[in-house]
Amino acid sequence: MFRVQTSKETVSLTKEQLLQTLIQKVADVRKPDHEVLAKTIADYLEVNGALKSTTVLQLLTLAFSAGYFYRVFLDKNVVTVEIPNASASSSEGSD
């Protein structure tokens, strides 16, 4: 159970409710930098032959953890994301 205290109330979420909320947020907000980094992870795993010996759970843990540390990286630094051939470049660091 995840207990979330907001400025207005305290909400309890099951792990399934939390995951559903996170996945919906990801689906609603397209971020070109996320797509580039996901492709880079996939390429890295393929080039290094890691896909043959990595479980689905390990892949998901890697992606989830990388996303967390990417968010920390953006929060602690001033980062301008420049993606060639993307419809829009964005400045990250706050939502």
Q: Give the pLDDT confidence of 10-51 residue by residue, as tens digits.
A: 999 999 999 999 999 988 988 899 999 999 999 999 998 888
Where do the domains of the chain lie? 1-29, 31-95
Residues facing residue 93 across a β-bridge: none
> Which one, of 19, 18, 33, lies nearest residue 82 by Cα?
33
pLDDT in the model for residue 84? 79
* pLDDT band (50, 70, 90) for residue 94: very low
Q: Would the pLDDT of 89 be above 60?
A: no
Mean pLDDT over all residues of the chain?
A: 87
What are the DSSP calls for 16-79, one per residue?
A: HHHHHHHHHHHHHS--HHHHHHHHHHHHHHHHTTGGGT--HHHHHHHHHHHHHHHHHHHHHS-E
pTM of the model: 0.69
